[in-house]
Amino acid sequence: MTGTERSGVEGTGQAARAGGSGGSSPQKDTAELVRKTAAELGELLSAGEVSAAEVAEAHLDRIAAVDGQVNAFLHVDRETTLAQARTVDERRAAGERLGPLAGVPVAHKDVFTTTDMPTTAGSKILEGWRPPYDATITARLREAGLVILGKTNMDEFAMGSSTENSAYFTSRNPWDLERIPGGSSGGSSAAVAAYEAPLSTGTDTGGSIRQPASVTGIVGMKPTYGGSSRYGVIAFASSLDTPGPFARTVLDAALLQEAFSGHDRMDSTSVAEAVPPVVEAARHADVDGLRIGVVKEFAGDGYDPGVSARFDEAVELLESLGAKVVEVSCPHFTYALPAYYLIAPSECSSNLARFDAMRYGLRVGDDGTRSAEEVMALTRAEGFGPEVKRRIMLGTYALSSGYYDAYYGKAQQVRTLIKRDFEAAFEQVDVLVSPTTPTTAFPIGERADDPIAMYLADLCTIPANLTGNAAISVPCGLSDGLPVGLQIMAPVLGDDRVYRVGAAVERALEDRWGGPLLAKAPAL
């Protein structure tokens, strides 16, 4: 066990002890508070029926009680969190006009820089790093009065689909603790699915929000690229990375997205347009007359029968709600995966070059005789995990002189073809749908040393990353007791459309199920 692994566990362990002894306000049922949606909590908070400190405490207690099993958090600091909550209560008491999520807790992916908590991106090479600046999204969460519960576990540098690539530990799927919670934002999905937080943040480079949301039975949204700021997001693949929200309801996801989105002059790729009306769309929940395209290529071999069945039922449901469903061919979507596994590693090989033991982070082998070059190479060999090394090597290869045109160059051309497929499709339909991921949560360890099998988890989610489109995953049922997600994709800046369709699906399915899907999850 490494030093940080211990400290990570102790962090949650401390919360456990404090929660066990302290408890919260006797009048409030903390078990009830943690099951409320963010929208409900926001209303209780603004009505003064509960304080931000009480809400935070309830969630910290929940973390203390269950995170020993779930392993969602890399870092929890009860005092820092409660201090934030008290500040929100003071702001409210002082009459400040606060947003709808003021006082609502959020679990923050460890890829966002935070000045008051360590930021490691799940890597040993950044163990214990305290950034001197807040990510734009961190700052916006604070401004909106959201209370950060802690930093969530992730695949190292967001590379993976299971959190098994975290340098610290593997997070667990609350539906089955022997299974993966998805990745890379698996700590964030697990935290929300385990009622440790009503909301969490993630980043989606190839599906790292939608796939974990899908396999844990919650909502995960990848906004339009550039719609949410990357400033202070430790980069994996800059042209693909997109921060976005996790929540248990479509409306909550929209509220969180609205809270942290909008133009950021610190991010040159940030779009100048106003944030699409996502909250309004999430309340609208109507698909009557909407044209919905089923992506023909995302079906067949490799898809769990249960996944295909739930997907087909969801499409039928949409049709029954008045949507016009057509099959759409996007012939190049099947090339998205290989293109992605050239573009993302290429960018990552460059983005991760800065971890070199010179200015921050781990330094290995500096014995006074070795050169900087040797110390860099020793540090990187020890500080990066196998998947990160694999992708750095792959990206270095794809960009090398002699191979650039055949690999990186071709992948960029495929990107153009996929863009054209999307454009052609959106001339016929308003949104596209597919399963979010071909299978349900797989057992921990099953694909750990089979990168190609692991990469297949992102098969359906990658096209939207390559072209910057908005896409969401909403729960659409169970297969063998495990959640299945429906992916809804819209054009660039069409975020409101996916919320509208997602909310309609959510409402209709919850009517059918008699409540949210997550209610079917086994108790922890």
Site for another protein in 231-250 (CB under 8 A): 231-235, 237-240
Neighbours of 211 (CB within 10 A): 34
Nearer residue to another protein within complex by CB, 313 or 374: 374
Nearer residue to another protein within complex by CB, 196 or 241: 241
Q: Which of 6, 17, 130, 512 binds another protein (CB under 8 A)?
A: 130
Q: Which of 86, 410, 507, 520 binds another protein (CB under 8 A)?
A: 410
Applying the rule CB under 8 A, the residues between 465 and 484 that interact with another protein are 465-468
Q: Which of 267, 286, 312, 446 binds another protein (CB under 8 A)?
A: 267
Q: How far is the CB of 257 from another protein (least distance, A)?
A: 18
Nearer residue to another protein within complex by CB, 8 or 383: 383
Told to judge if 123 belongs to the known catalytic residues of this protein, a careful annotator would answer no
Give me the phi and psi of 222, to 5 degrees please: -100, 105
Q: In what order do the strands lie in the sheet with 291-295?
A: 73-76, 147-152, 105-109, 199-204, 242-247, 219-222, 470-479, 482-490, 431-435, 291-295, 324-328
Applying the rule CB under 8 A, the residues between 347 and 366 that interact with another protein are 347, 349-350, 353-363, 366
Q: How far is the CB of 393 from another protein (least distance, A)?
A: 5
Interaction mask 303-342, another protein, x per CB under 8 A:
-----------------------------x--x--xx-xx
Nearer residue to another protein within complex by CB, 144 or 348: 348
Return the structure tokens found at 469: 């489109």
Contact flag: residue 296 with another protein (CB under 8 A): no
Told to judge if 208 belongs to the known catalytic residues of this protein, a careful annotator would answer yes
Q: How far is the CB of 269 from another protein (least distance, A)?
A: 6
Q: How far is the CB of 285 from another protein (least distance, A)?
A: 28
Applying the rule CB under 8 A, the residues between 68 and 127 that interact with another protein are 112-113, 119, 121, 126
Residue type, 175: W
Contact flag: residue 152 with another protein (CB under 8 A): no
Question: Is 489 in a helix, a strand, or coil?
Answer: strand
Q: Do the bridges between strand 219-222 and strand 470-479 make them parallel or antiparallel, or are there none, so unpaired?
A: antiparallel
Told to judge if 229 belongs to the known catalytic residues of this protein, a careful annotator would answer no
Query: Can you give 376-431 as a three-state secondary structure string?
Result: HHHHHHHHCCHHHHHHHHHHHHHHCCCCCHHHHHHHHHHHHHHHHHHHHHHHHCCE
Beta-ladder partners of 471: 222, 489
Interaction mask 443-462, another protein, x per CB under 8 A:
--------xx----------
d(CA 63, CA 61): 5
d(CA 167, CA 281): 39
| Distances from the Cα of 233 to the Cα of 97, 157, 202, 238, angstroms | 28, 10, 10, 10
Q: How far is the CB of 350 from another protein (least distance, A)?
A: 5
Neighbours of 257 (CB within 10 A): 27
Q: Does an H or E element contain 75, and which? A: strand 73-76
Residues 6 or more apart whose CB falls under 8 angstroms from that of 233 comprise: 111, 112, 113, 135, 137, 203, 241, 243
Q: How far is the CB of 315 from another protein (least distance, A)?
A: 28
Token pair 């599906």 is at which residue?
Answer: 207
Catalytic annotation, pick one of 24, 162, 200, 208: 208
Nearer residue to another protein within complex by CB, 93 or 453: 453
Catalytic annotation, pick one of 162, 166, 171, 184: 184
Neighbours of 418 (CB within 10 A): 26
Contact flag: residue 154 with another protein (CB under 8 A): no
d(CA 391, CA 405): 18
Nearer residue to another protein within complex by CB, 17 or 354: 354
Applying the rule CB under 8 A, the residues between 160 and 179 that interact with another protein are none
Contact flag: residue 27 with another protein (CB under 8 A): no
Nearer residue to another protein within complex by CB, 91 or 420: 420
Instruction: Determine the length of the chain.
Output: 524
Return the structure tokens found at 485: 């997600």
Q: How far is the CB of 259 from another protein (least distance, A)?
A: 19
Neighbours of 69 (CB within 10 A): 13
Catalytic annotation, pick one of 24, 51, 109, 200: 109
Return the structure tokens found at 281: 């769309």
Total residues interacting with another protein, rule: CB under 8 A: 96
d(CA 295, CA 303): 14
Using an 8 Å Cβ cutoff, are 455 and 230 in contact?
Answer: no
Nearer residue to another protein within complex by CB, 67 or 241: 241
Interaction mask 30-69, another protein, x per CB under 8 A:
----------------------------------------
Q: How far is the CB of 68 from another protein (least distance, A)?
A: 29
Q: Which stretch binds another protein (CB under 8 A): 209-217, 280-288, 416-424, 427-435?
A: 416-424
Beta-ladder partners of 247: 199, 219
Applying the rule CB under 8 A, the residues between 386 and 405 that interact with another protein are 389-390, 392-394, 396-397, 399-401, 404
Q: Do the bridges between strand 219-222 and strand 242-247 make them parallel or antiparallel, or are there none, so unpaired?
A: antiparallel
d(CA 453, CA 407): 21
Q: How far is the CB of 415 from another protein (least distance, A)?
A: 4
Q: How far is the CB of 438 from another protein (least distance, A)?
A: 16
Nearer residue to another protein within complex by CB, 175 or 298: 298
Residues 6 or more apart whose CB falls under 8 angstroms from that of 300 comprise: none
Using an 8 Å Cβ cutoff, are 214 and 473 in contact?
Answer: yes
- Show which residues are catalytic: 109, 184, 208
